[in-house]
Amino acid sequence: MAHLYRQGWCLASVLLVPLLVLASPGLLKLNAVGPAWGVLWLLPWALVDGPVSGALVGVGLGLLLDALHLGPVTVVPALAVLGWWWGRLGRRGAPIDRSGSLALLAVLGSLLLGVTVLAQQLWRGELVPAAAQILLAQALITGLLAPLVCSLQVLLWRQQLPGVRG
């Protein structure tokens, strides 16, 4: 673990995610669907800080996001798995810092997050109209925002931790 959590403001930045979900900027929506803000925040964190931190912060972020939406559907398992997976990717091989790679990882993360939520809803017998359109719109807008948002976060957080190549 690279100990990014020791930088208090870095960990406090996770509070921006629920604020962005609640604010729901209209310019950043596609077909009335916003991006997966949790994915856009967790991806750079896990790449820089590693799999253990990525999974733990994914659980915390998932609990924050679940608190916004009362109900039986949760995003905690998906964010924990994504944090662990992206953390492992950040520790193996060359550092991931290309815009296309970040966009692809964000799209895959958004799709996994959406599929887990959809699966939970289907398991409970709740039919979701236009679920495929919502899933694809969220993945697309997340992928379009990822090169800008994630690249800036990766650069900023790498500067805070000298010697980290993740």
Read off the amino acid at residue 2: A
Determine if residue 75 is left, alpha or beta; phi over 0 gives left, psi from -120 to 50 gives alpha, anything else beta.
alpha
pLDDT of residue 156: 86
* Domain segments of the chain as ranges: 4-160
pLDDT of residue 55: 95
Q: What are 104-135's pLDDT values in tens digits?
A: 999 999 999 999 999 999 999 887 788 889 99
* DSSP letters for 76-112: HHHHHHHHHHHHHHHHSSS----HHHHHHHHHHHHHH
Per-residue pLDDT of the chain (166 residues; tens, 9 = 90+): 457 666 667 777 888 999 999 998 888 898 889 999 999 999 999 998 889 989 999 999 999 999 998 889 999 999 999 999 999 998 886 777 788 999 999 999 999 999 999 999 999 988 778 888 999 999 999 999 999 999 999 888 888 776 655 4
In sign, the C-alpha dihedral spanning 135, 141, 143, 146 is negative
The pTM is what? Answer: 0.89
Query: End-to-end distance of the chain based on CA atoms, in angstroms?
Result: 10
At residue 128, the 3 state secondary structure works out as coil
Q: Domain 4-160 classified CATH 1.10.1760?
A: yes
Q: Are 100 and 150 in contact (CB under 8 A)?
A: no
pLDDT of residue 166: 47
